[in-house]
Chains A and B, each alone.
Chain A
Amino acid sequence: EPEVTQTPSHQVTQMGQEVILRCVPISNHLYFYWYRQILGQKVEFLVSFYNNEISEKSEIFDDQFSVERPDGSNFTLKIRSTKLEDSAMYFCASSAQGGTGSEQYFGPGTRLTVT
């Protein structure tokens, strides 16, 4: 069964460093998402992406964050200058169609630890 994959599974970085989290969505999907979960808190929406542009973003997704689909398979989340409060589990998701009616398939997550 096709699945969303994410690399790395765990990333440790120092405050102020740039990190890139990578995701390979399901191959025929067109809609891509990032969510994050700070330890002990809710899973929070960050951004949705379609047709090579951001379609929706949350207040969390400020200028420090960016997303890109550099080729036909990868979808990345970049944090330009990490802060301690960016430590969280980051989930990538993809769906074949847009709108809440379509199922979002989630990856296993990348745990980001900022020290």
Chain B
Amino acid sequence: AQSVTQPDIHITVSEGASLELRCNYSYGATPYLFWYVQSPGQGLQLLLKYFSGDTLVQGIKGFEAEFKRSQSSFNLRKPSVHWSDAAEYFCAVGSYNTDKLIFGTGTRLQVFP
């Protein structure tokens, strides 16, 4: 069965520092992978997605993620975090034969000035 693990429940970084949020998935075939962000009072917004091809994908707001099949990982990165990036980040996996997304438990990012 498909599953997603986000090992870090809460991360705190200083503004301007680099960021990496971890995501590991379990899926037999090539997964479809997503990162969503949720700001307080807002819906889940898609940051980026991976289906195939280049394993380094670029997203909105300066985020990128790298698909590593050997590690079953899809970590989200940003070189320099802004205070407005404080939010909850969700990794999700899907597959070609279903509409449903399977989410991780989320990582709450706090940014200090």
Q: Which A residues have a C-beta under 8 Å from some C-beta of B? A: 3-4, 31, 33, 35, 40-45, 48, 55-56, 58, 91, 93, 95, 98-101, 103-109
Q: How many residues of B contact A (CB 8 A)?
A: 25
B43 touches A107 (CB 8 A): yes
Q: Which B residues have a C-beta under 8 Å from some C-beta of A? A: 4, 32, 36, 41-46, 49, 51, 90, 92, 94-96, 98-106
CB closest chain-A residue, reference B42: A108
Q: Across the A-B interface, how many residue pairs have beta carbons closer than 8 Å?
A: 65
Given contacts A41-B105, A42-B104, A101-B32, is CB(A48)–CB(B43) below 8 Å? no
A-chain residues with CB within 8 Å of residue B4 when the two chains form the complex: 42
Closest Cβ–Cβ distance, residue B23 to chain A (whole Å): 13
B95 touches A108 (CB 8 A): no
B49 touches A42 (CB 8 A): no
Closest Cβ–Cβ distance, residue A40 to chain B (whole Å): 8
CB closest chain-B residue, reference A6: B43
